[in-house]
Amino acid sequence: MQFEYEIEGGNFSRAGYASSEVKKKLRQLNVDLKIIKRVVVALYEAEVNVVAHAWSGIMRVDIDRGRISLEIDDEGPGIPDIDKAMEEGFSTASPEVREMGFGAGMGLPNIKKNVDKLNITSEVGKGTKVVMVTYL
């Protein structure tokens, strides 16, 4: 089963809409509640990162019997040093983002804790692709 959602950079009032839709789908599919929580927290962190740091993005969700695969592909400034970005506490978030309660540099490390596989690729000036896989 596959779904796609658009994510708008900078639009904080809408941030989380796509993750919320995915959560509803996973519930309809009777996925274990503990797994749903971990998956949607990771997905939401990645969605908020697009809203906070990039210009626009696409969320692709692919669910089958064995796994949930989530891909967030954005157009944006990219991440120059991914290892650095993965460190807890590293953040380049704007004051505006911090006012929304984000920008603590905890999102990427938290994604890593919540999914089985995380792969980030990025090109500076072009965009970032975050792929997360969780086995069922």
Ligand X SMILES: Nc1ncnc2c1ncn2[C@@H]1O[C@H](COP(=O)(O)OP(=O)(O)OP(=O)(O)O)[C@@H](O)[C@H]1O
Binding site for Mg ion (CB under 5 A): 49, 107
> Could you tell me if 12 and 74 are in contact, meaning their C-beta atoms sit under 8 angstroms apart?
no
Q: How far is the CB of 32 from ligand X (least distance, A)?
A: 25
Task: Kindly tell me which of 93 and 136 has the beta carbon lying closer to ligand X.
Answer: 93
1, 28, 66, 95: which one binds another protein (CB under 8 A): 28
> Could you tell me if 49 and 73 are in contact, meaning their C-beta atoms sit under 8 angstroms apart?
no
24, 67, 117, 126: which one binds another protein (CB under 8 A): 24
Q: Which of 102, 39, 97 is nearest to 71 (CA)?
A: 39
Angle at 130 between CA 65 and CA 51, to 5 degrees: 115
Measured in degrees and rounded to the nearest 5, phi and psi for residue 16 equal 105, -10
Interacting span for ligand X (CB under 6 A) from 21-29, 32-40, 62-70, 104-112: 104-112
* Binding interface with ligand X (CB under 6 A): 45, 49-50, 52-54, 74, 76-79, 85, 90-93, 102-108, 128
